Structure 1
Amino acid sequence: MSDEQQPGANGIPVDAWTFRAALGRLAGGVTIVSTIADGRDHAMTANAVTSVSLEPPLVLVCVETASRFHEAVLDAGVWGVSILGKSQRPAAQWLSTPGRPLVGQLDQIPHTRGASGVVMITGSLATLECETYAVHPAGDHSIVLGRVTALTLADEPEAALVYYRSQFGSLA
């Protein structure tokens, strides 16, 4: 039996499916992470976004290395994080759809641009504009650390959009 399939204390093998199921029980906020590379907008839905440091202000996002977003965010060196409210669920669902077209993927999503040109989703609970600070390989993902250079906060934020057990929900 390989290390990935060793049973845990209760005898459940630790494989990709059970690992995903276990971590799916950790509710997380939903974001759209965006960048612009070679004049094209790139965006993805992510719940693997975390604050790292207050001084300097750092956040991280985990990006699958096989995704087209991965190369774009590494090449660009700048990216944005839009923290979503419950009414933005359709945007989150669309930008998590595999194989969606790159060109025009943001046409139906209201947005503005940050100082670096990255897309910021209109109506978000908060937005962060980041410069890449460091990148660390991590299995089939890269951990991309960003220094926050600008942010916005909604005056009257709605309930947060969350992801739990492979489903979107909301949290007041």
Structure 2
Amino acid sequence: MSVNSDQFRDVMGRFATGVTVVTTSNDGRLDGFTASSFSSLSLDPPLVLVCLGTDSACHEVFTRGGCFAINILSVDQADLSVRFSSVVGDRFEGIGHSRWITGAPILDGAIAAIDCRLHAVHEGGDHSILVGRVERLGAIREEAEPLIYYRGAYRAVS
């Protein structure tokens, strides 16, 4: 049986995921993208992974850069998810952020953030798998509810 991309997308969309914005700073350039393909990978050493399409405008910035941060979004941050998944000018214009160890932007209002050094990049079909070694992490908004993505729409935990 052959699996086509529409079938694959439909079935995979039935797996609810959290929503993140992955950010970086490379040679003074800030960039970021929305990702739901994020996971912890290893406890020792502490590693996480995120997948980025090879056709993404920011692919080279992330795969050749030295760091990235995972910003876990809250239900009231759906607008950030849309902004970082769209083709816009400066995605960071008017967006508050700070920087931790690596210099990758930590977005104001995120539920939690994970600051990473780029550990490895692996080929994964039409995506690259970015593996990050965790340098710092922390919960930022203890009481916030997570933004969930399911079957092509944003959801909230009820």
**TM-score relative to the length of structure 2:** 0.94
Superposition pairs of residues 1-172 of structure 1, within 5 angstroms: 6-7=1-2, 14-97=3-86, 99-101=87-89, 104-171=90-157
**How many residue pairs end up in the alignment?**
158
Deviations 1:100-141 (A, max 9, x none): 22xx21113221122222111111111000011111101010
**Contact 2:52/2:129 (8 A) holds in 1:** yes
Mean alpha-carbon deviation: is it higher for 109-118 or for 134-143? 109-118
**Whole-angstrom CA distance in 1 between matches of 2:156 and 2:83:** 17
**Whole-angstrom CA distance in 1 between matches of 2:28 and 2:17:** 31
Query: SS of 1:120's equivalent?
Result: strand
**Whole-angstrom CA distance in 2 between matches of 1:83 and 1:67:** 20
**Contact 1:51/1:58 (8 A) holds in 2:** yes
Structure 2 spans left out of the alignment, 5+ residues: none
Rg bigger for which structure?
A: 1
**Contact 1:85/1:157 (8 A) holds in 2:** no
Structure 1 spans left out of the alignment, 5+ residues: 1-5, 8-13
**TM-score relative to the length of structure 1:** 0.87
1:10 is aligned to: none
Identity %: 37
Query: SS of 1:55's equivalent?
Result: coil
**Whole-angstrom CA distance in 2 between matches of 1:62 and 1:156:** 26
Moved over 6 A (4+): none
**Whole-angstrom CA distance in 2 between matches of 1:168 and 1:72:** 27
Query: Quick one: which amino acid aligns to residue 133 of structure 1?
Result: H
**What RMSD over aligned residues (CA atoms) do the two structures have, in Å?**
1.3
**Whole-angstrom CA distance in 2 between matches of 1:15 and 1:80:** 33
**Contact 2:101/2:135 (8 A) holds in 1:** no
Query: SS of 2:94's equivalent?
Result: coil
**Whole-angstrom CA distance in 2 between matches of 1:38 and 1:120:** 17
